[in-house]
Amino acid sequence: MIVSWNWLKEYVRLDMSVSELERRLMMAGLNHEETSDVGGDLAIDLEVTSNRPDCLGHLGVAREVAVLFERELKLPPIAAAESGPPAESLSSVSIEAPQLCPRYTARLIQGVQLGPSPAWLVRRLATIGIAAINNVVDVTNYVLMECGQPLHAFDLAKLAGPRIVVRRARGGERIVAIDHRAYDLAADDCVIADAARAVAVGGVMGGADTEVTLATRDLLIESAAFDPLAIRNTARRLNLHSASSFRFERGLDPEGVDWASRRACHLILELAGGTLAAGVLDAGRQPPPREPLVLRLSQLKRILGIDIPADRVRAILAALGNRETRHDAQTVEVVPPSWRGDLAREIDLVEEVARIHGYEHIPEDVSVPMAASARRDEDRVLDRVREALVGGGFDEAYTLSLVEEDMSAAFSPWTETDALVAHMPILRRADRLRRSLVPSLLAARHANESLSNPTIELFEIAHVYLPRGDSLPDEQLMLAITTGADFHALKGVIEAILTRLNRHKILEVAPHPLPLVEAGRSCKLSVDGTLLGFLGEVSEDGLRRFDLRGHATVAEIKLSVLLELAELVPRYEKQPAFPAVSRDLNLVVDEGVRWEAIASAVRAAGGTLLENLAYQDTYRDPHRLGAGKKSLLLSITLRDPAGTLTSQKADQVCEQIVSDCRRELGAELRA
Amino acid sequence: MALAEFVAELAGLLDDAEKAFAAAGDAQALEAARIEFLGAKSGRLKNVQKGLAGVDKDDKPAAGKRFNEVKEAIATAFEAAKERVERARTAVAGRRGSEQFDPTLPGRPVRLGHLHLLTQTIEDLKEIMGRLGFTAASGPEIEDEWHNFQALNIPPAHPARDPLENFYLATAGAATGSGPLLLRTQTSTVQIRVMEQTPPPVRIISLGRVYRPDTADATHYPMFHQIEGLLIDRHATMADLKSVLRLFAKSYFGGDGHIRFRPSFFPFTEPSVEVDMSWNERWIEMGGAGMVDPNVLAAVGYDPEEVSGFAFGLGVERVCARRYGVTDIREFYKNDVRFLEQF
């Protein structure tokens, strides 16, 4: 809302500096945007919150100024001599759509002399950015910006009937508005019609056919109330937003309908002459009387934390236009003013008193009682996961929760159900709620490759959205990781995370085909048989789809599984004091024998004395080992918790291991 | 075992060892040879020593003596070789022109990753609020209209519910009557969910992603993070709100940290205020706050006559951008590792 300094002076004495005015208004809820000089006047731009449509006019702002500076508010004159014939004899008004338009009034002026507005009026409109058109249209705009109530002037001669019918638009109905564009109307749109056709989009914009021109002699001045939601829907659907629709959408002063009508007639008679018909055509409901509200003074202390003297409370409420109907030592009862539809409950009065009294009176150093608070297990687990990843050289990424359709389709290991779709994209074409973080991280790899960043090691922790019919989706927190290194490098990272959370858990892998991922280097990960996630090296095809030049490996881990298995308070285990014996074994096996089989045979043979088994290396040499053979170097640590392990005993265990591996896997000890 | 056999084995061993030490051209080869012959666990000398046990009892003193002589000879050969290798190394260094240790060479790099700046900020905020007694809470990002609107005192006709102001899901709801679903526009939804489950008092901080159809520019992004505090108790007042915010501002931003309230409007609080804090002798905007609206308390089954409370919300990106001087919040979502590694 842009306010003219000179115009505001019409209603309240402005003897403060403009910056003081701006500051006080801001501290009372009208945030100051900027002030600019327009031809010697000041245009003060104020941000009006949606609950205060009363401040969408100069009078409303002047009322706030009057309250804040304890000045008198001067209302402008509205009296107009009704020297013409009865209004009913000239026209009629009926409402057929009371849900859309609860009240419609019309006043009629005959014999006006159209022409330019006087300089003072032109200047005031210019300050707030409205171009002058002619004296009648300018008056309707002036009154709109004075009190906030939109008005429309019809050329009475151009209205068929002449009469006004307020109804829903008919199928296929079309109107050319005063912006000279055609609008197709629908049944939810409220139209102002004459006996023949729609002549205005109710509450939004008048029609070109019946607008006032320099040739106009007789006027019908509309002042009405429209349903806020209906106006909003129509303005939105037609993409036709006006100063009128903006105000009707927020709900206006029901008493303002008649006041504005009278005020406009007063000004038109003054500026354009003519004769005002007697009475008003007034259809629909009269505004209902307002119910009184009771403010318990104790509520001020209870909500605000400060006491405000009763006299001050009553004075503030009265200054704001509340009519006091009763008061005692504990309560004040008031009827709020018609222009403050937002004052409907006791708490609304508490806010009004606080706002005008000043929030600076509320202390900022009271002692708030202490309360226990604990970090959630989830946060502690996430901390450890993040620590491990950062220690492993990974940077954390944040990517959008919605992705484009092809990205969504590219990889979805957790569900085969179609992704949820937002009714409009969040950015570019991204409208699919993602079912995996992996495509987003591959896109981030691509972005970094384009920037020639040499090392791209990324992870992200975020939700995926797994559809569950019509109910809320299953939002699973996932950890996705991508590296330029290979399968086993990333597997090692995941094993490190797992061990960090619970050192007794072992990562299980099973081959599992996945899109985007190289066949045979694509695995399902589990712990104790529970699905943990997926890991694989991106295939040539996958690299092409994401336009990647370099090698990439990806993994996605379900964090709820980690949360479940995490041992955040491990129990102390006493470490054996007896020395360990280490042995290296070189086992030659067929190419097809997997580590898992060897490890399991070694563990079984090693029994309780086997403290640790570590893989060291694989060696292949067709000349020395023979074709189709490989040699695995493994290190074992043996320890007897009950006593010193003799070297003979250690040798026995090694021999047992070798012979079991020979029998079960055809392994031979390499010399 | 016969003594002769044992002695022959020792002689072979000494011969092999002397040859191997002599052949070692550098320290690495010499070390390999040392392990082969003198290794403590499975060196060949060690293995031969095991044979001593099998020598006839009468021959044992002689065998032992011979063993010690050979052991000493091998050790001497090793020392000689070691000296030779060391001399050679120094000689090479000399030819290169007195090689010197350079402590100013860079250390061998250790690659550490970086937490995203938003994570660091969120953790800082959570930690400060934790010390003020607020426990973290989270809830779904996809919500129903009850939690995102109705319970927050945003009735069906409210402009905030306009489809163009929200990301509604295209398919869900209407058919079965469960109602439309949408991406939450504020983390206040979490407050509702916590209050529905928990009798007062409540002191939580809710955090997470929220979604609004804003055009992406330097200060807006259609997805961002909010942190919201909620305190409900028997005697919670606006003075408590101001005091908590002051402690928070002083802890996070430092400085004098005074708090200023400007009246504002939010459907779920009344009174509602914009919060400013003093920083370097200026007022800067912190976020929105207010006393929880009685309608919200009633919606979750609390008695607004029994309890009161306050809520406040901050945009994490804005707080973070201000603190670290990030001039374009889109940087947070580009994932350029050069950006990520600055922090």
Contacts of A423 by beta carbon, 8 Å cutoff, 6+ apart: A431, B163, B167, B168, B169, B170
Does residue B205 have a pLDDT over 80? Answer: yes
Does B176 lie in the same domain as B86? no
User: Are the beta carbons of A487 and A553 closer than 8 angstroms?
Assistant: yes
User: Are the beta carbons of A127 and A43 closer than 8 angstroms?
Assistant: yes
Contacts of B47 by beta carbon, 8 Å cutoff, 6+ apart: none
What domains, with CATH codes, occur in chain A?
A: 2-69 (3.30.56.10), 87-284 (3.50.40.10), 293-359 (3.30.56.10), 377-565 (3.30.930.10), 581-669 (3.30.70.380)
Name the more confident of A609 and B157.
Answer: A609
Does B124 lie in the same domain as B69? no
User: What count of residues does chain A have?
Assistant: 671
* DSSP of A179-244: TS-EEE--TTSEEEE-SSSEEEETTTEEBSTTB--TT---EEEEEEE--HHHHHHHHHHHT---HH
Does residue A609 have a pLDDT over 60? Answer: yes
Round to whole Å and give the CA distance between B278 and B151. 34
- Which amino acid does the sequence have at A174? R
**Structure token digits, residue A188:** 């939810």
Mutate to test the interface with A, among B123, B238, B260, B312 (most CBs of A within 10 A): B238
Closest-CA residue to B241 (of B228, B225, B256): B228
Does B136 lie in the same domain as B90? no
- Which amino acid does the sequence have at A395? D
A586 sits in which H/E element: strand A581-590
The model's confidence at residue B42, banded by pLDDT at 50, 70 and 90, is confident
Is B140 in contact with A472 (Cβ distance < 8 A)?
yes
Does B39 lie in the same domain as B186? no
Q: A342-351, A644-653, B308-317 — which is least confidently predicted?
A: A644-653
Round to whole Å and give the CA distance between B343 and B340. 6
Residue that is written with structure tokens 């704001």 in the block: A320
By CA distance, what is B165's nearest residue in A?
A: A424
Does B318 lie in the same domain as B241? yes
Between CA A131 and CA A280, with CA A143 as vertex, the angle to 5 degrees is 130
Q: At what angle do helices A310-319 and A58-69 cross, to 10 degrees?
A: 160
Residue range A568-600, pLDDT digits in tens: 999 999 999 999 999 999 999 999 999 999 999
Does residue B271 have a pLDDT over 90? Answer: yes
Domain hosting residue B305, numbered range: 117-340
Is B133 in contact with A465 (Cβ distance < 8 A)?
no
Residue range A56-65, pLDDT digits in tens: 999 999 999 9
Query: By three-state DSSP, how is residue A161 classified?
Result: coil
Round to whole Å and give the CA distance between A213 and A154. 10
For residue B94, the model assigns a pLDDT of 58
For residue B32, the model assigns a pLDDT of 85
B110 sits in which H/E element: none
Q: Is the dihedral of CA B252, B255, B260, B264 positive or negative?
A: negative
- Tally of CB atoms within 10 A around A103: 20
Does B142 lie in the same domain as B172? yes
Residue B262's beta-bridge partner residues?
B274
**Distance of alpha carbon A614 from the chain centroid:** 52
Is B113 in contact with A28 (Cβ distance < 8 A)?
no
Q: A127-141, A598-612, B34-48 — which is least confidently predicted?
A: B34-48
Residues B106-120: what's their mean pLDDT? 95
Q: How far is CA A99 from CA A168, A229, B193, in A?
A: 10, 10, 35
Q: What are phi and psi of A398, to 5 degrees?
A: -125, 115
For residue B88, the model assigns a pLDDT of 78
Radius of gyration of chain A (CA): 40
B209 sits in which H/E element: strand B202-211
Whole-number mean pLDDT of chain A? 96
Residues A473-479: what's their mean pLDDT? 97
Q: Are strands A629-638 and A31-38 parallel, antiparallel or unpaired?
A: unpaired
Residue range A559-568, pLDDT digits in tens: 999 999 999 9
Work out the minimum CA distance from A380 to partner chain B, whole angstroms.
11
Number of domains in chain B: 2
Residue A474's beta-bridge partner residues?
A466
Q: Is B230 exposed, middle or buried (0-12, 13-18, 19+ CB in 10 A)?
A: buried
Residues B10-20: what's their mean pLDDT? 85
Query: For residue A171, what is the DSSP state?
Result: T
Residue range A65-98, pLDDT digits in tens: 999 999 999 999 999 999 999 999 999 999 999 9
Residue range A331-340, pLDDT digits in tens: 999 999 999 9
On chain A, the residues whose CB falls within 8 A of the CB of B334 are 447
Beta-strand (E) ranges in A245-311?
275-276, 281-284, 293-296
Does B149 lie in the same domain as B19? no
Q: Output the domain CATH number for residue B273.
A: 3.30.930.10
Closest-CA residue to A254 (of A77, A54, A521, A449): A54
Is B308 in contact with A350 (Cβ distance < 8 A)?
no
Q: What are phi and psi of B146, to 5 degrees?
A: -60, -50
Is A120 an interface residue toward B (CB < 8 Å)?
Answer: no
Does B125 lie in the same domain as B22? no
Q: Is B51 exposed, middle or buried (0-12, 13-18, 19+ CB in 10 A)?
A: middle
Is B112 in contact with A391 (Cβ distance < 8 A)?
yes
Does B127 lie in the same domain as B75? no
Residue range B68-103, pLDDT digits in tens: 888 888 888 888 888 888 887 776 655 666 778 888
* Closest CB from A368, A373, A422 relative to B240: A368
Residue range B211-255, pLDDT digits in tens: 999 999 999 999 999 999 999 999 999 999 999 999 999 999 887
Q: How far is CA A476 from CA A413, A464, B215, in A?
A: 13, 5, 28
Residue range A362-421, pLDDT digits in tens: 999 999 999 999 899 999 999 999 999 999 999 999 999 999 999 999 999 999 999 999
A621 sits in which H/E element: none
Q: Pick from B96, B125, B146: which residue ends a domain?
A: B96
For residue B95, the model assigns a pLDDT of 60
Between CA B216 and CA A32, with CA B249 as vertex, the angle to 5 degrees is 55
Round to whole Å and give the CA distance between A78 and A80. 6
Residue range A10-56, pLDDT digits in tens: 999 999 999 999 999 999 999 999 999 999 999 999 999 999 999 99
The model's confidence at residue B15, banded by pLDDT at 50, 70 and 90, is confident
Q: What are phi and psi of A368, to 5 degrees?
A: -85, 135
In a domain, B102, yes or no: no
User: Are the beta carbons of A669 and A654 closer than 8 angstroms?
Assistant: no
User: Are the beta carbons of A43 and A36 closer than 8 angstroms?
Assistant: yes
For residue A569, the model assigns a pLDDT of 95
C-alpha torsion angle, residues B271, B273, B275, B278 (rounded to 10): -90
C-alpha torsion angle, residues A122, A125, A126, A129 (rounded to 10): -150
For residue B299, the model assigns a pLDDT of 96
For residue A359, the model assigns a pLDDT of 97
The model's confidence at residue A255, banded by pLDDT at 50, 70 and 90, is very high
Does residue B172 have a pLDDT over 90? Answer: no
User: What count of residues does chain B have?
Assistant: 343
Number of A/B CB contacts below 8 angstroms equals 230
Query: For residue A111, what is the DSSP state?
Result: S
User: Are the beta carbons of A496 and A557 closer than 8 angstroms?
Assistant: no
Does B281 lie in the same domain as B168? yes
Residue that is written with structure tokens 């009322």 in the block: A63
Does B226 lie in the same domain as B183? yes
Does residue B161 have a pLDDT over 80? Answer: yes
Does residue B6 have a pLDDT over 90? Answer: no
For residue A156, the model assigns a pLDDT of 97
Q: A302-316, A435-449, A530-544, A615-629 — which is least confidently predicted?
A: A615-629
Round to whole Å and give the CA distance between A106 and A108. 7
User: Are the beta carbons of A167 and A96 closer than 8 angstroms?
Assistant: yes
Closest-CA residue to A350 (of B88, B318, B96, B238): B238
Q: How far is CA B72 from CA B62, B67, B75, in A?
A: 16, 9, 5
In a domain, B110, yes or no: no
Mutate to test the interface with B, among A67, A249, A366, A468 (most CBs of B within 10 A): A366
The model's confidence at residue B127, banded by pLDDT at 50, 70 and 90, is very high
Between CA A273 and CA A278, with CA A274 as vertex, the angle to 5 degrees is 130
Closest-CA residue to B70 (of B22, B37, B109): B37
For residue A66, the model assigns a pLDDT of 97
Q: Are strands A174-176 and A517-527 parallel, antiparallel or unpaired?
A: unpaired
Q: Pick from B96, B126, B148: which residue ends a domain?
A: B96
Query: For residue A148, what is the DSSP state?
Result: S
In a domain, B53, yes or no: yes
For residue B177, the model assigns a pLDDT of 55
In a domain, B106, yes or no: no
For residue B87, the model assigns a pLDDT of 80
Q: Are strands A402-403 and A395-396 parallel, antiparallel or unpaired?
A: unpaired
Q: A38-47, A251-260, A481-490, B247-256 — which is least confidently predicted?
A: B247-256
Q: Is A298 exposed, middle or buried (0-12, 13-18, 19+ CB in 10 A)?
A: exposed
Is A550 an interface residue toward B (CB < 8 Å)?
Answer: no
Residues B283-303: what's their mean pLDDT? 96
Residues A158-169: what's their mean pLDDT? 95
Does residue A119 have a pLDDT over 60? Answer: yes
In a domain, B103, yes or no: no
**Distance of alpha carbon B110 from the chain centroid:** 16
User: Are the beta carbons of B337 and A446 closer than 8 angstroms?
Assistant: no
* Closest CB from B162, B246, B264 relative to A49: B264
Mutate to test the interface with B, among A55, A295, A340, A368 (most CBs of B within 10 A): A368
With helix as H, strand as E and coil as C, how does A433-488 read?
Answer: ECCCCHHHHHHHHHHHHHCCCCCCCEEEEEEEEECCCCCCCEEEEEEEEEECCCHH
Does residue B308 have a pLDDT over 80? Answer: yes
Question: pTM surpassing 0.90?
Answer: no
Does residue A498 have a pLDDT over 90? Answer: yes
Q: How far is CA B281 from CA B138, B256, B273, in A?
A: 36, 9, 21
Work out the minimum CA distance from A427 to partner chain B, whole angstroms.
7
User: Are the beta carbons of A434 and A464 closer than 8 angstroms?
Assistant: yes
Does B124 lie in the same domain as B35? no
For residue B178, the model assigns a pLDDT of 63
Is A362 in contact with B242 (Cβ distance < 8 A)?
yes
Is A393 an interface residue toward B (CB < 8 Å)?
Answer: yes
In a domain, B231, yes or no: yes
